[in-house]
Structure 1
């Protein structure tokens, strides 16, 4: 649920450092980057109890980090309760111009965008899917209104920021609809974006993935070929946050997916190896290469691929999906898999972020 790295849109024109923007913001960002969500809760609680937050935007930034930390720790009800302390998001209490002495020459909302996103996501986490989807669509309309405002004022940099947010929220919506196999809704959302000339390779790739889900293999190949053409022609509008390496790896992973559907696992492995050679932290390629090796009945090498990834890049590779796959491979390969999984669990306890779900190890 992490769109930009900072959960806030802090006033930057009159402040020199992160800690000038909000109380100890640099420390909060560092804790978040390390997945130390419990420490963030402690820091927010201490700042609140000692009245260390003096400005309105301080309170909003700390609220954002607190709600984010609670969400990461799967304490969704507590996160929702904390978020409910806010009034209407459009309240004048959250506008810079309400406090001209504190924020001279600034106007607009000081409410962090990430807080709006979490507000949309929480009902889904709490089992109220329809309320969450309604909030996501309202957020999408809010973003599009912002884009119109920025475009009318020729604020090109702001337009790009809000279009990235539009793209991010649309991708999340597509993901939620995809999870419930609502393929037609997904296709409508993607085609709407493409019709608006969004040159987003991730979006076009997702279109190909959905086409595969509904059995349109030729259509999927066409979408994936379009992504490769975009790469070759240097077409990327910047809304997808892709670097050139990530773009090239996306093309290889798309090709690999076509091979996987055709059960040509050897060719798929070759594509994934190109990705890993280009970027050894590409966890999707690492995980999928291991799965293809497993399908080729090479359990030993598939296990080595995942174990090596955990050893080399634990902060990137340590996610529940990869660990679940590794444990499944242990169960297939070894009689004493329970002992091996306990060893893995003991290692993970020392290196995992606070929000890692250790139950996926199935000890």
Structure 2
């Protein structure tokens, strides 16, 4: 089967490849226009140019120098819209996932260079998306896992209490107490965790005293190079860095110094203590509210528990999908993992509730 006489199936595939390449290029250009990072904008524009070149390959096979603009898939329309909003980091993550599933692996009409280019594009997007994941992983991470903890812990509590045979109002009271106690505990714990992490980073940051003394150091003989050697640099590199700092301080009054090696990215990844505590408190509360919603609406222990299981199951699938999105893993597998863990915990407490109820403890 030759390329000169393509079948209808081949033409259909080539049109799809052409449309996808043009659509991805459009999303990348939209991202480059909306990003505030000049370096990222340049990378995105060059990546879009590469996707356009790939589209030209399929246009050539279709024997049309300028084929009519194809209709975009719904997912690309959504990505294009999101690219112009504050969700650009999410778009990069989704593009990375999409490009990783290259259709060129089993495409006879795709040259090896084309497939290799796509593999490189995945790595470029991975690098860009890594910074997006870094920005999302602080307070957002605390929120997602706070909601998941609220869902699992309060479903387990509601299941255990329902199994003992107590009335609906009692289950509601227990679930409400679990919501409040858990939210306070999560908020306080997240604050302590993030605050401690930042204090550890601050203990490793350069002190301010040395920065005020740069100009007094001897250009030829000083101990500033020892700081860089202690950080793992070679003697030659350490001396060069020390000379740069001293010379910069004398020439410009206040040149770059040891603060250049401060792990600012680590601070961003850790997040804000109060922000993490507040988001954890709110998201835990929102998650813990789901299992008691049926009881708030007047449902009895039996019906209330069944409705809680369904609602929590849907919520766990959602939080699991979000985790999969951030990690670049399968959304379905992460959702099912969350679901099994949540239902497993609820199942154990339900059996314990049956045991306590049968023994008359309730």
Q: What's the TM-score, normalizing by structure 2?
A: 0.23
Q: Which has the higher helix share?
A: 2
Higher relative contact order (CA 8 A, sep 6+): 2
The structure having more radius of gyration, on CA atoms, is 2
Q: What's the TM-score, normalizing by structure 1?
A: 0.23
